Amino acid sequence: MHLTTLHQGPARRSLAAAALAAGALALASCATKPPATDADAVQDYEQTNDPLEPTNRFFYRVDDSLDRYTLKPLAEGYIFVVPSPVRTGLHNALANLTSPVLFADDVSQANPQHAGDTFMRFVINSTIGGAGVFDVAKGFGYPAHDTNFGITLGLWGVPTGPFLYLPFVGPSSPRALVGRGADTVLDPFTWVPRGYGLKTLNWARYGVGIVDERATYMGDIDHVKASALDPYATFRSLYRQNINSQVEAAKHPAPTTTPSWGTQPAP
């Protein structure tokens, strides 16, 4: 799983705590279901599947303020100070570190094509790609892709559950949270022994990852905030549509191809 995995780095305990707090708070305030006589409104309510909307909106506002006064200025500074090729290299290197988790996710989705791509990308980019800084593998025919264990669960038929907006996490769902937990367990970096500076490395990777991601989507995020009448609802809709489309795509993996230099099996 691409950069999203980064965000499950060292701060995962506080993340879990935040999720718990959100759950507790959510219980305290629920959106009111419209009366059954208003069929259209009931349909809207069910499609949106956001029974915790008041709580979610509260956390969205908190997140939005944090972003406005901390993360966004930081990301703007990063874009201003660091030249584009360096940012791309750093982005590639961070993405490369998520390859082991991505590989496990590809396997869990029974997608040999993606798993092979991920494996070859990790081998090629970690070596001749200079520790992942240069995406050489793409030119060799191993393009990048992204997925996570939440998508695997969707593929296995686990329903997504109600919409959640969590502080420091963003749009989510019970299924996505379980997926995050699984990806954390699958990430070898979770299990490296303390010491040897690895903890520091993990934190650095995590911190830079956040800024990198914010910088990458700077224009898109700002565009939604500027153009949507209700940015919260727009992010919610985009998030859910995107997740659903990823699950649908996972159901139809590209057929495995035989290398052209290999012996073609008889039909």
Partner 1 sequence: MRLMPTRRKILCLAAATCALAVAGIAPASAQNAGADAFIRNFATDLVAIVNGPEPAAQKKAALGPVIGRDVDVSGVARFCLGRFWSTATPEQQAEYTKLFQQVLLNQISGHLGDYRGVSYVLTGDTPQGSNTLVGTTITRPNQQPINVQWVVGSVGGTPKVVDVIAEGTSMRITQRSDYASYLGQHGDRIDALIAALHRQLDNSAS
Residues that bind partner 1 (CB under 8 A): 2-4, 7-8, 11, 14-15, 18, 40, 44, 48, 60, 63-64, 66-67, 70-71, 84, 88, 144, 146, 165, 168-171, 206, 210, 213-214, 217, 219-221, 223-224, 227-239, 241-246, 248-249
**Residue nearer to partner 1 on the CB measure, 227 or 260:** 227
- Pair of tokens at residue 221: 């995020």
- Pair of tokens at residue 225: 């905030």
How many CB atoms lie under 10 A from the CB of residue 126? Answer: 17
**Residue nearer to partner 1 on the CB measure, 32 or 263:** 32
CB of 262 to partner 1, least distance (A): 26
CB of 216 to partner 1, least distance (A): 8
List helix spans (H) across the chain. 12-28, 39-48, 53-66, 72-81, 84-97, 99-108, 112-127, 136-139, 149-155, 174-186, 198-216, 218-227, 231-251
CB of 230 to partner 1, least distance (A): 4
Q: How far is CA 255 from CA 107, 110, 116, in A?
A: 15, 12, 12
CB of 243 to partner 1, least distance (A): 7
**Residue nearer to partner 1 on the CB measure, 71 or 201:** 71
How many CB atoms lie under 10 A from the CB of residue 239? Answer: 17
**Residue nearer to partner 1 on the CB measure, 178 or 233:** 233
CB 51 within 8 A of CB 31: yes
CB of 11 to partner 1, least distance (A): 5
**Residue nearer to partner 1 on the CB measure, 122 or 206:** 206
